[in-house]
Amino acid sequence: MPEAPELATTHTAELDSSAKPERANRAHGPRRLFRGRVLFLLPALIYLLALFAYPIVYGILLSVRQSSVITFVHNTGGFVGLTNYRLAVTNPVLPGVVWNTAIFMVGSIVAQFSIGFLIALFFTRRFPLSGFLRSLILVPWLLPGVVTGIILRMMFDPNIGMVNQVLSNLGLIHSPIEWFANTHLALLVIVLANIWIGIPFNMLLLHGGLQDIPHELYEAARVDGAGRLRTFRSITLPVMRPVIAVVLVLGFIYTLKAFDIVMIMTGGGPMNATQLLSTWAYTLSFYNLDFGQGAAVGTIMMAISLVCAFAYVRTYRGELRS
Amino acid sequence: MKFRRRKGLISGLNLAVALVIVGLMLVPLYWAVVTSLKTLHQSYATPTALFPPTPTFAAYSQVVHTQGGSLLTSFIIAVGATMVSLLISVPAAYALANFRFRVTWLVTLSLLVAQTIPGIVLGTSFFKIFAGLHLLNSYLGLIIADSTYCVPFSILVVRAFMIGLPRELLEAARVDGATLLDSLLRIVIPLSRPAILTAALFSFLFAWGDFLFALTLSTSNSVEPMTLSIYSYMGQYTSQWPDLMAAAVFAAVPSAILLILVQQGIRGGMATAGLKG
């Protein structure tokens, strides 16, 4: 990772001046000074090791050990290599889970990004109350997942749900739709729920990016006689590329993690139709008490996330430079 | 004159479109509030009333009665996680913003990566580790677990702010003989109050809304945060929608407060810190 130290230098380059007063303090000894400084960081380092590094390693170890009801509480199972991974990959439930996760992620990301971008573009216009209204859109994103999940579950409830009522008032349906009993519809509903949560987040970041585009660029385009679509394609999109990259990567990571709304709205059902990698890992560990297989699925998810995280760090660096 | 009138018309139209967008986004919330103010009978009436016919707070008092304890539990855990988070992140942010360590880049990288770890991975390991430490079904266990949502985020947000503080202030303090701790406590923290407040509010919200750790780290209902209690209540009384919606409204209060407090503070700049676990 030869480029990574640059990350640190970009942040601390402006702090070089601190070297001077340090020299004045040298009587106390640079070692002592260093020790004093490191004390500020030490709690965080210990914290990261204890609550991130250790559990991650623990999870990986869990995934290569035998797990049964006997080893339930204390992890005493023997080393079994990649058996748990083999079991997970050949599990008859897996193809469905991968499919659901793919549909869930692609559907959510495409829709929340497009809609979020449109709303962000709209809110670059000037009109009264625009700041206030824009912040109201953030509400769904700030709500706890459980709250979102339960409210939307009610919206789609076959008996009292508003969605069925609106559809039937419009004459589109004649009898109530059982959203959570149908495998395809249940998946559709959790995708819609996740889009609802994701739109504000996408809108917020994209709007921030749009605000940072220098106005002169648009002026120049207008002078050159560029139309609205042309301006968008030739100016907005290229300038926004780093922001768009960050938004998409974060969208990917968060969507892969999604758990709360699915547990609340469908619990992975009916018949695993809305089981995602995250809820499946939970089910394997905590329902089937097969912690080995659950940890194997978790480790695979983590690997996917890490690949994305490095993409994120790269774009994050790009952001900082510009 | 004509020009001005046209401009007014356009901004009026924009306002109308914006109201429609906001309305569509907030319909579910409106519906939650309306349902929470209905009686059980009214909630099942067809066609559904768009306003509560006889607004009643019965559902709310019912929720206070049955789930008041859970709201308190959530509050205690969220305050605890916020305090843990601030105690660890403020000094760390100070160090990362002002001192050069060989590990600075590695720590920053770890903080970014930490936020991408799926909660279920941590939850499963925490379950096993906490079982050995007798931390399951405990406030302390949930405070520790929930703080993992907050610490990386808080360090990055506060550090980003501290980097922007004028160096001269710290140097002047040092010339005056202030120690590093003095300048943190007397200069940096007071100046960084907006960033620290943002970190604290989001930390509170993350911990308050936690469902995953509450679910995985509980084997009984002895310590039951509000999210878990809504979940189990829903399992038992699926059809008690007014009560469930009143509970949802209570659970949403911190989000509303946060929105009001940091309305101006939430800006694209925070994107780089990565939001919400």
- pLDDT of residue A178 exceeding 70, the answer is yes
Q: How large is the average pLDDT for residues A11-23?
A: 39
Q: Rounded CA gap, A173 and B134, in Å?
A: 54
CB contact under 8 A, A151 and B29: yes
CB hemisphere CA count around B202 (13 angstroms): 27
What pLDDT is attached to residue B258?
A: 86
- pLDDT of residue A72 exceeding 70, the answer is no
Residue A153 and residue A264 in contact, taking contact as beta carbons nearer than 8 Å: yes
Tokens describing residue B228: 């878990």
Nearest residue of chain B to residue A203 (CA atoms): B268
Which residues of A fall within a CB distance of 8 Å from B113? 306, 309, 313
Nearest CA-CA distance, residue B53 and chain A, Å? 16
Alpha-carbon distances, residue B109 vs A1, A205, A306, A309, B196 (angstroms): 11, 21, 12, 10, 21
Which residues of B fall within a CB distance of 8 Å from A54? 125, 129
Nearest CA-CA distance, residue B180 and chain A, Å? 8
Residue B246 and residue B234 in contact, taking contact as beta carbons nearer than 8 Å: no
What pLDDT is attached to residue B263?
A: 65
Query: What whole-number percentage of chain B has pLDDT above 90?
Result: 56
Task: Name the DSSP class of A79.
Answer: B
Provide CATH code, domain A94-274: 1.10.3720.10
Which residues of B fall within a CB distance of 8 Å from A130? 14-15, 18
Residue A158 and residue A177 in contact, taking contact as beta carbons nearer than 8 Å: yes
Q: How large is the average pLDDT for residues A77-95?
A: 89
Query: What whole-number percentage of chain B has pLDDT above 70?
Result: 93
- pLDDT of residue A165 exceeding 70, the answer is yes
pTM, full prediction: 0.87
What pLDDT is attached to residue B86?
A: 96
DSSP one-letter string for chain B: -HHHHHHHHHHHHHHHHHHHHHHHHHHHHHHHHHHHTS-HHHHH-SSPPSS-SS---HHHHHHHHHHHHHHHHHHHHHHHHHHHHHHHHHHHHHHHHH---TTHHHHHHHHHHHTTS-HHHHHHHHHHHHHHHT-TTSHHHHHHHHHHHHHHHHHHHHHHHHHTS-HHHHHHHHHTT--HHHIIIIIIHHHTHHHHHHHHHHHHHHHHH--HHHHHT-SSSSS--HHHHHHHHHHH-TT-HHHHHHHHHHHHHHHHHHHHHTTTT--GGGGGG----
Q: A161 falls in which pLDDT band (50, 70, 90)? A: confident
The mean-pLDDT minimum among A132-136, A314-318, B69-73, B126-130 falls in A314-318
Sorted by where each begins, the domain ranges of chain A are 94-274
Q: A148 falls in which pLDDT band (50, 70, 90)? A: very high
What pLDDT is attached to residue B235?
A: 81
Chain A window 123-162: which residues touch B at a Cβ cutoff of 8 Å? 123, 125-130, 132-147, 150-155, 157, 159-160, 162
Task: Return mean pLDDT, chain B.
Answer: 88
Chain A window 284-303: which residues touch B at a Cβ cutoff of 8 Å? 285-286, 291, 294-295, 298-299, 301-302
Sorted by where each begins, the domain ranges of chain B are 59-273
Name which of B88, B256, B275 is nearest A43 (Cβ-Cβ): B88
Q: A70 falls in which pLDDT band (50, 70, 90)? A: low
Q: Is A65 helix (H, G, I), strand (E, B) or coil?
A: strand
Q: B226 falls in which pLDDT band (50, 70, 90)? A: very high
Residue A317 and residue B105 in contact, taking contact as beta carbons nearer than 8 Å: no
Q: How large is the average pLDDT for residues B101-130?
A: 90
Which residues of A fall within a CB distance of 8 Å from B216? 282, 286
The mean-pLDDT minimum among A18-27, B71-80, B140-149 falls in A18-27
Q: Rounded CA gap, A165 and A142, in Å?
A: 27
Q: B83 falls in which pLDDT band (50, 70, 90)? A: very high
What pLDDT is attached to residue A32?
A: 53
Q: Rounded CA gap, B69 and B222, in Å?
A: 11
Q: A251 falls in which pLDDT band (50, 70, 90)? A: very high
What pLDDT is attached to residue A182?
A: 92
Q: How large is the average pLDDT for residues B200-217?
A: 95
What pLDDT is attached to residue A74?
A: 55
Nearest CA-CA distance, residue A224 and chain B, Å? 24
- Considering the domain delimited by B59-273, tell me its CATH architecture: Orthogonal Bundle (1.10)
Q: How large is the average pLDDT for residues A46-60?
A: 95
Name which of B94, B105, B276 is nearest A4 (Cβ-Cβ): B105
Q: Tens digit of pLDDT for each residue in A89-135? A: 999 999 999 999 999 999 999 999 999 999 999 999 888 888 889 98
Higher per-residue pLDDT: A4 or A85: A85
User: Mutate which of A3, A6, A142 to disrupt the B interface (most B C-beta within 10 Å)?
Assistant: A142
- What angle, rounded to 10 degrees, do the helices at A183-211 and A145-155 form? 130
Q: Is A176 on the interface with B (CB under 8 A)?
A: no
Name which of B26, B115, B174 is nearest A136 (Cβ-Cβ): B26
Global ipTM: 0.89
Q: Is B114 helix (H, G, I), strand (E, B) or coil?
A: helix
Alpha-carbon distances, residue A42 vs A38, A39, A46, A138, A213 (angstroms): 6, 5, 6, 36, 40
- pLDDT of residue B269 exceeding 50, the answer is no
Q: Cis bond leading into B47, ω under 30°?
A: yes
Task: Name the DSSP class of A232.
Answer: I
The mean-pLDDT minimum among A50-54, A267-271, B168-172 falls in B168-172
Q: Tens digit of pLDDT for each residue in A289-309? A: 889 999 999 999 999 988 887
CB contact under 8 A, B107 and A41: yes
CB contact under 8 A, B215 and A5: no
What pLDDT is attached to residue A7?
A: 33
Higher per-residue pLDDT: B175 or B83: B83
Tokens describing residue B111: 């903080």
Q: B76 falls in which pLDDT band (50, 70, 90)? A: very high
CB contact under 8 A, B151 and A47: yes
